[in-house]
Structure 1
Amino acid sequence: MISIKEEEIVKYLKESYNPIAIIKYGSFADGSANENSDFDALVITTDVEKHDSSVVADTVLDVWVYPENKFSSGYDPDEFLQVFDGIIIQDQRGLAKKLIDRVNDYIDQTPAKSDEDIIQEVAWCEKMLARTVREDAEGYYRWHWLLMDSLEIYFDIKHLYYHGPKKALKYMQNNDSETFDIYLCALKEMNQDNLAQWIGVLKALK
């Protein structure tokens, strides 16, 4: 069941674009939306192509509008990864379902990182960890750089597709809570022991 706010947004999209298909994704699709969330959607129309960032129902839109011929020939599914778990609101000709299916096929066929790649990534983490001890701007920069990139490396080690930090954190919290708690501690405090413990987890997993 969609909220009154979403009903207003969908009404706006239908009146503005006479869409063939609408796919919502992001926080409004996974139930994590709050008062500061954008409404993310992909809209397929007859011939319009634009990005709509209007404010509707006190919500900023992040809506990408494409003509149907964008999907009638060879297109790169990598451009539309965000809809992999999207919710179809409207789909007059089955284009939305075909797009989601193709994106998920692309994700499923993406090769996992090799053992050699993972060894190199973990070695990079260890090298970066050593460089964070310098108490200057570069050391602090490397600290944050390491925290950000190591999350994706965790997913490489687990042979899981990385869908960005928001979904990654949610997955880790739900499926590997002990590791999540270690990573959270590293995020919350600039404490060398916490950061070293997190990198130690990656080293043990590889």
Structure 2
Amino acid sequence: MKARDFLETVCERLKAQYDAYTILLYGSLADGSANADSDLDIAAFSPVDRVTRVAEIQDGIFIDAFIYPESVLDAPEEEHLRFRGAEILFQKTESAAVLFERLDELYVSGPAPLPADEITVRRIWATKMVARMQRADAEGNYRRHWLLTALLEDYFHLRGLWFEGPKKALSWLRTHDSATLKALEAALEPGAPITSIEIAVDRVLNASVPDPEGASGFDTPRGTGT
């Protein structure tokens, strides 16, 4: 079965068990980037006191559903930006439209800028990690993976851009900074030489963003930072 084949069953279950009155499909299945092993990412809103997560596998499909308190609809936070562009599966009122409007406002306002001292710390940390990961032991290998994970996120954080997960981040780089994407791809290759990682670190720390406002609408994850 395909992931979408489970949508009706999942929605009925969420309505019956949690009294959900707004249900969204988000992630790769909603934005058209899904592949054969994509998850079924669901967000539901109901009169619950805390966030509840339902995760299970059915016929090889991973169903990952979050049930949120209804207050999130009116006051979403940064973690909820992943619902932008979601597909409405069910709603009793126009609550989803209100949520999307709030999310667009939050997105345009941009992430809070990093303090100057935090920027300095992250730059020094990346440089130190390059040296420390060269130890021929488990700790060195761990630091290598730690650095490679942090680099993609820090590229966006250091430039006052939203980081929306690896898939969207890499896609954004493909459009706006292909040189940094190429450097990161080389560094992420299993067994990549230290020089490739050093080049990626340099790009993340020092590369300017070519025409960051070039994308239309909300496709460019830059805000005012206010």
CA contact (8 A) 1:9 1:57 kept: no
SS across alignment from 1:53: strand
Deviation at 1:81, TM superposition (A): 3.2
> Does the 8 A contact of 2:73 with 2:95 survive in 1?
no
Report what 2:128 is aligned to.
127
Map 1:10-159 onto structure 2 (within 5 A): 10-18=7-15, 19-45=20-46, 50-55=52-57, 58-66=60-68, 68=70, 70-71=71-72, 77-109=77-109, 110-159=111-160
- Secondary structure at the aligned position of 2:34 is classed as coil
1:23-68, CA deviations, whole angstroms, 9 ceiling, x for partnerless residues?
1111111222222111001123466974333445652211123464
Counterpart amino acid of 1:93? T
Question: In the alignment, is the contact (CA less than 8 A) between 1:88 and 1:97 conserved in 2?
Answer: no
- Check 1:197–1:172 CA distance in 2 against 1; reply closer, same or farther (3 A cut): same
179-188 vs 90-99, which deviates more? Answer: 90-99
Alignment-mate amino acid for residue 9 of structure 1:
F
Q: Distance in 2 between matches of 1:157 and 1:66?
A: 31
Are 1:91 and 1:97, in contact at CA under 8 Å, matched by a contact in 2? no
In 2, Cα distance between equivalents of 1:43 and 1:136: 45
Gaps of 5+ in 2: 209-226
Q: Which amino acid aligns with 1:87?
A: E
Deviations along 1:6-25, one digit per CA (max 9) or x if unpaired, are: 2x323213432445222111
Contact between 1:26 and 1:40, CA under 8 Å: does it hold in 2? yes
Q: Which has the higher contact order (CA 8 A, sep 6+)?
A: 2
Preserved CA contact (<8 Å) 1:44 1:66: yes
**Range with bigger deviation, 30-39 or 56-65:** 56-65
1:100/1:133 CA distance change after superposition, 3 Å = same
Residue 143 of structure 1: CA displacement? 1.0
Amino acid at match of 1:204: N
Matched, 1:193 2:195: yes
Uncovered stretches (5+) of structure 1, i.e. residues with no partner: none
RMSD across aligned C-alpha pairs, in angstroms?
Answer: 2.8
Q: 1:183 to 1:97 in 2, by over 3 A?
A: same
The corresponding residue for 1:175 is 176
